[in-house]
Amino acid sequence: MVHDQGRLKDGKVAAIKVLSAESRQGVKEFLTEINVISEIEHENLVKLYGCCVEKNNRILVYNYLENNSLSQTLLGGGHNSLYFDWGTRCKICIGVARGLAYLHEEVRPHIVHRDIKASNILLDKDLTPKISDFGLAKLIPANMTHVSTRVAGTLGYLAPEYAIGGKLTRKADIYSFGVLLAEIISGRCNINSRLPIEEQFLLERVCMSHILHRIGVSFTSINSYSQFCLFNLHLF
C-alpha cells in the first residue's frame, strides 16, 4: 500500500491511497470501502473524493489530513513536534465517539467499522480526528441485533465475544474504542513487546489499576477533568 498526495483541479490537496495487486486489502475490501464511505459524510470521518481501478492497481482519493495518524504521532515514540495536552486528547476521544455514534445510530443500515485502532484515526491540521479505512466494515440492518461473520480486525482491539463467537454487533467497535481511549490517555500502545513481559499489555495494567504511573510524561498539570478520566479508567 502506498500513500501519496496530489492536488485536485479546485486546488484542494488530496491523499492518494494506492493498493497494489500484492496488497492485503483485496477486491472485496476495496469495494466495501468505496460503498460504505461514498454514501456518508461526517466531520469525524474521512471524506472520499473519488476512486479508480486500473489493471491490478486500485486507487482511493481522500481529503488530505496534515497530521497523520494517532499511531504515528501520540503513540509514535516522541518523534514528532505535536503536543497532546489533556484538552487535545479529550477532543480526539470525543470526536472519535461522535464518528462512531454516527455510524452506529444515524446511518441506515448501521455500520460497524470492525477495525477501530490508533493507525486508523487520522488528524487534520487542527487535530480533529477522522475515522479512516472502511475495508472491513459491515452493515447491520436496523431490525437485526447482530450478524454472523468471519472474525476480522486487529489483535489487541478485538472484543472477546466477537473473537470467540463470530457474532458481530456494534459493541465490537465500542470495545475497540475503549482500548483506544486507554491508549490516548496513557500515551502508549496497548501492546508493546519491547517492554518487560509484565508491562507489555496495557489493558492488563489498566485492570490492575497501574495506569497512574503510565500517564504521558509531557503533562505539566492534572486538572479536575483529567482526574475524572483517571477515575473512570480504574473502573475497567
Residues annotated as part of the active site: 115
DSSP helix/strand/coil, 95? helix
- Angle of helix 171-186 relative to helix 86-101, nearest 10 degrees, comes to 170
- Judge residue 153's burial from the number of C-beta atoms within 10 Å of its C-beta, 0-12 exposed, 13-18 middle, 19 or more buried: buried
Residues 6+ apart with CB under 8 A from 38: 48
CB-CB neighbours of 232 under 10 Å? 11
Q: Which residue has the cell 455500520?
A: 111
For residue 68, what are the CA distances in angstroms to 10, 126, 233? 23, 12, 27
Q: What b/e readout covers 1-39, taking b as 16+ CB neighbours within 10 angstroms?
A: eeeeeeeeeeeeebbbbebeeebebeeebbebbbebbee
